[in-house]
Amino acid sequence: QQPVQSPQAVILREGEDAVINCSSSKALYSVHWYRQKHGEAPVFLMILLKGGEQKGHEKISASFNEKKQQSSLYLTASQLSYSGTYFCGTEVYTGNQFYFGTGTSLTVIP
Amino acid sequence: GAGVSQSPRYKVAKRGQDVALRCDPISGHVSLFWYQQALGQGPEFLTYFQNEAQLDKSGLPSDRFFAERPEGSVSTLKIQRTQQEDSAVYLCASSLGGQGSRFRSGTEAFFGQGTRLTVV
């Protein structure tokens, strides 16, 4: 039930780009993306509702492919502040379940 | 308050002891969620309230776990006879939600800082 994220971990130099993928085995109603810094609560980044929808948040954007039951988070020109663990959250059509993904640890170094 | 508030921030319990964790959601938020997050893992769903109604408790790991939200605002997660495997951070989240909705457009979830429970 839990969506699978890839990669598990990534290290970037400041200014580099990264892509984080989230894949579900269930048909999805929506996908959410959160970032959690160590010892802190997850912070909402964005929600995507429709198949093929794309959204942007500063230099962070995401896409949602409803058919493939996948979402990707794109981080461009990464900054030190982007470091943290990124979680996708998926809401399925059936039932009331909402699952967080396995997480991707992102570290940006100078 | 301005955000979701959880108390206590840290709790150390002896195995077998009962604990109660409190969540004060953002005023006016209909939906309230409890999650359990083990070290290095993603949050795992425990239970969901819409106002005072507990609509989904399928994630509660055993009958030792009990949650309530009697007046549709503050919620308490109670764990009876704590065991070492209960050690985790317990996160509470609230959202505006709405009729029949969970996380829907414009209804992002706001998380509290969590309660770190250590059972010794």
> What is the SS3 assignment for A81?
helix
Q: How far does the CA of residue B66 sit from the closest CA of chain A (Å)?
A: 18
Check whether A57 has a pLDDT greater than 90.
no
User: Is residue B34 classed exposed, middle or buried when 0-12, 13-18 and 19+ CB atoms within 10 A define those classes?
Assistant: buried
Q: Residue B52 has what DSSP assignment?
A: T
Higher pLDDT, A53 or A79: A79
* pLDDT at residue B99, rounded to an integer: 43
Structure confidence at residue A97 as a pLDDT band (50, 70, 90): low
Total number of domains in chain A: 1
What six digits make up the tokens of B81? 């006879």
Model confidence at A105: pLDDT above 60: yes
Domains of chain B with CATH codes: 5-119 (2.60.40.10)
Confidence (pLDDT) at B114? 94
For residues B115 and B43, the answer to whether their CB atoms sit within 8 Å is: no
Distance from the A34 Cα atom to the nearest Cα atom in chain B, whole angstroms? 10
Q: Tens of pLDDT along chain B (120 residues)?
A: 579 999 999 999 999 999 999 999 999 888 899 999 998 888 898 998 989 999 889 889 999 999 999 999 999 999 999 999 999 999 999 887 654 444 444 467 889 999 999 999
**A45: CB partners within 8 A, 6+ apart:** A32, A33, A34, A35, A57, A60, A62, A73
What confidence score (pLDDT) does residue A29 get?
Answer: 80
Do A63 and A72 meet the contact criterion of CB atoms below 8 Å apart?
Answer: yes
Contact B103 A96 (CB under 8 A): no
Q: Could you read off the pLDDT of B20-29 as tens digits, one per residue?
A: 999 999 998 8
Q: Would you state the pLDDT for residue A85?
A: 95
Predicted pLDDT of residue B100: 45
A44: CATH: 2.60.40.10
The pair of three-digit structure tokens given for residue B98, joined into one six-digit string: 């709405």
Q: What is the pLDDT of residue A107?
A: 96
* A38 touching chain B per CB within 8 A: no
Q: Which domain holds residue A75?
A: 4-109
Average confidence score pLDDT of chain A: 87
Contact call for residues A44 and A36 (beta carbons, < 8 A): no
A55 has pLDDT over 80: no
Cβ within 8 Å of residue A68, ≥6 positions away: A23
Q: What are phi and psi of A82, to 5 degrees?
A: -75, -15
B105/A43 touch (CB, cutoff 8 Å), yes or no: no
The per-residue pLDDT for range A5-54, each reduced to its tens digit, is 999 999 999 999 999 999 998 888 888 899 999 888 888 888 887 666 66
Residues of B in contact with A87 (CB under 8 A): 42-43
- What integer best gives the mean pLDDT of chain B? 89
Considering only residues 41 to 80 of chain B, which have any Cβ-Cβ distance to chain A shorter than 8 Å? Answer: 41-45, 48, 55-56, 58
